[in-house]
Amino acid sequence: MKIVNYNEINKLSMVHIPRVSSDRRRCPTPVISKYTFTGGKRKKARREEDKKKCIFVDLYSTRLLIAVSFLLSLSCVDAYLTLALIEKGNVVELNPLMAFFLNLGVFQFSLIKFIITALSLIILCLFKNVSITRIALPITMKIYLIVIMYEFYLYII
């Protein structure tokens, strides 16, 4: 009968052994795959070396959902206030792309603004682990809030 020394096992499990073999997968998981819609297990990168790469995850945090929903709501409020200010005669649309769609009609303007924002937010979610995304998300929220406060100010005067 062999006696097991659990202290030695614990010490060995704490030793960091770098990976020497290459990745076992033939190719990385594509951005759009069956796991995109059915879900997976990965919320974040597990290894330090993977954290330095652009890694896609299967599960997203509630915090990210709230941030994305908030940005989409701010975009809709911005569209509404822009249309209200244009109807009031105080402002003109300076963005040439959105001015083009505004000339086509209010519905087209609103739809395109929503689609552009929603697609941008989907891309932002896919790249949520990239450092520029973690920086850009709060900055974008602050800019949108400033724009909406300015639009409210214009609407009041």
The number of angstroms, rounded, from the C-alpha of 47 to the middle of its chain's C-alpha atoms is 22
pTM: 0.67
Tell me how far apart the alpha carbons of residues 54 and 90 are, in angstroms, rounded to a whole number.
Answer: 45
| Model confidence band, residue 93 (pLDDT cutoffs 50, 70, 90) | very high
Residue 47 CB contacts under 8 Å (≥ 6 apart), including other chains: 19
pLDDT in tens, 66-92: 999 999 999 999 999 999 999 999 799
Any idea what DSSP says for residue 127? Answer: T
**Smallest Cα–Cα separation from 110: which of 82, 151, 150, 70?**
82
